[in-house]
Structure 1
Amino acid sequence: MTTISQKKTLEKSTYIAQGEYAIGDTEDTVISTILGSCVATCLWDPVAGVGGMNHFLLPDGPSSRNDISSFGANAMELLINALTRAGAVRGRIRAKVFGGAEMYKGLTNAGNENGVFVLSYLQREGIPCDSQSLGGVQARRIEFMPALGKARQKLVADSRVIEAVPKPEKTNDIELF
């Protein structure tokens, strides 16, 4: 019993992209992703030996979009529901969260908003957050062993913050050469 994005079969090692999630229940299963301003939440039930990871883009978005799993609350509910269907008990679920970097300085605050969202969601739902690595200015590669609840983070050495180029002010002035 392992799934990714609700339908695909999970290999021993699988990569999830934005808007996806995967669950697993074997000790040799590893789920991985790469994050910038996005957030990945690793959830697991240590008693049932089942866990999973999601990867979401923004805390919330328009309800008219088809890719609702790219938004925080939907991504969290999809993962939690998949875990409970796989035998996890909601009251035993624990969390580790990663991501939320500031990758586009001055352009967006999405990374910080994602971090604030995931921590408040976990607190509101009564899910203990055992560890977190949120914020900063570097991308991260996350590897999660869902049955064991173990996670590993590697900072991406060549990631850089992109500075927003200020837009020139619009005026009615004319410059003649």
Structure 2
Amino acid sequence: MNHYLQHFLYPSSLFVSKEPHLVKTILGSCVAVCLWDSKLKIGGINHFMLPTWNGNDLASPKYGNIAIDKLIDRLLFLGSKSENLQAKIFGGGEIMHTGNAKTMIGERNIRIAHLMLDERKIPVVASSTGGSRGRKIIFFTDTGEVRHKLLDKKH
């Protein structure tokens, strides 16, 4: 049994390590993209809240387009090649129903993740997205395994 270092991933952040880690995060309308390098056996994960940066405040990993680019860049910096990367996408649930189609943040977060990974020719090998419940996920950076659990709705 491997002894994993543990890391809790907060919203608007990302995590990449060459050391085996078990990374946990909780998702509502936010999306997490897990990237794993099948050759180097290293991985990374982000947790973004909004789909695209509008150029107003800081270009932070709070935004999907920034978070995905930064995650790919970090893995490439550690020696990964993009053709060895595979992705898993989680989250994007519509937890708060406002009735306004424009605010479908979860759906837009899922769309930006697929769009950017497709543009970079990184295959999505698994996903659990959408719906109306939150998710707790645990990502194993050395194997690419993700365990996820749907959270019960609080009424």
Q: Does the alignment reach a TM-score above 0.5?
A: yes
Partner of 2:132: 137
SS in 2 for 1:102: coil
User: What is the CA distance between 1:61 and its match in structure 2?
Assistant: 2.7
Is 1:119 the equivalent of 2:111? Answer: no
Partner of 2:152: 157
Partner of 2:9: 16
Q: How many residues align?
A: 149
SS in 2 for 1:122: helix
Partner of 1:51: 43
> Which one of the candidate residues 26, 38, 41 is aligned to 2:33?
41
- Contact kept, 8 Å, 1:39 with 1:56, in 2: the verdict is yes
Counterparts of 2:10 and 2:154, CA distance in 1:
18
- What letter matches 1:112 in structure 2? E
- Same amino acid, percent of matched pairs: 32
- Contact kept, 8 Å, 1:95 with 1:129, in 2: the verdict is yes
TM-score (structure 1 length as normaliser): 0.79
Counterparts of 1:120 and 1:159, CA distance in 2:
32
Is 1:84 the equivalent of 2:76? Answer: yes
CA 1:124–1:33 in structure 2 vs 1: closer, same or farther (change >3 Å)?
Answer: same
Q: CA RMSD in A?
A: 1.5
- Contact kept, 8 Å, 1:42 with 1:54, in 2: the verdict is yes
Runs of 4+ displaced beyond 2 Å? 24-27
Instruction: Show CA shifts across 1:38-87 (max 9, x none).
Output: 10000010101110000001111321212521111110111111111112
- Contact kept, 8 Å, 1:52 with 1:79, in 2: the verdict is yes
CA 1:159–1:36 in structure 2 vs 1: closer, same or farther (change >3 Å)?
Answer: farther
User: What is the CA distance between 1:159 and its match in structure 2?
Assistant: 4.3
Counterparts of 2:154 and 2:118, CA distance in 1:
31
TM-score (structure 2 length as normaliser): 0.90
Instruction: Show CA shifts across 1:62-120 (max 9, x none).
Output: 21212521111110111111111112111111000000001111242000111111111
- Contact kept, 8 Å, 1:44 with 1:94, in 2: the verdict is yes
- What letter matches 1:157 in structure 2? D
Tell me: higher relative CO, structure 1 or 2? Use CA pairs within 8 A at least 6 residues apart.
2
